Structure 1
Amino acid sequence: GRLQQPDGYLSSWYQRIRPGLRWTNLRDCHELYCAGHLIEGAVAYYQATGKRKLLDIMCRYADHIAETFGPEPGKKKGYCGHEEIELALVKLARITG
């Protein structure tokens, strides 16, 4: 949680190794794919323990993704080619309502 950016973004690779390049290469760099796995992990952890800390962090990350991508003007249009983020967002929506 301490690594999460104020806007909700969370990827240690882009925050530590490649700062300034987030969301620049969706096809090859797997940001959405990794986000999906992290979200699914947060859902599973919450289901197993009832603890919300990681789930809340991932909700902020999901909000950031929704604010970043979409067909609206000013948003990025793109996808990574892996279905992981979509599957994770469905699971997150089901658990959070």
Structure 2
Amino acid sequence: YTSTSFSALPSGFNLIATADNLTPSAFTAQVDPAILSVWSWDAVAGNWYFYSPLLEATGGLAAVKAYADGHGFLHFQDYNKTLGVGTGFWVNRP
């Protein structure tokens, strides 16, 4: 996705993919920092990876990790998980 095509997505949850190997932080900076959250399913672990640019902006990646840990989700950075080829992910747009 590019910032132009991303802006055409409707509000709410959208399942997308990118050919670039990016962290969730880098992805949201490229397309839209106003994204509410990014989610990716790990079928082996049976759990969701979680990222929120708002949490990162207010408390850094430590705040994102604290939220993920506190709610039983996986933190992208703990597992070196990136968005890229072979990874579909959900973005929640305002």
TM (norm. structure 1) is 0.28
Structure with higher Rg: it is 1
Q: Which has the higher strand share?
A: 2
TM (norm. structure 2) is 0.28
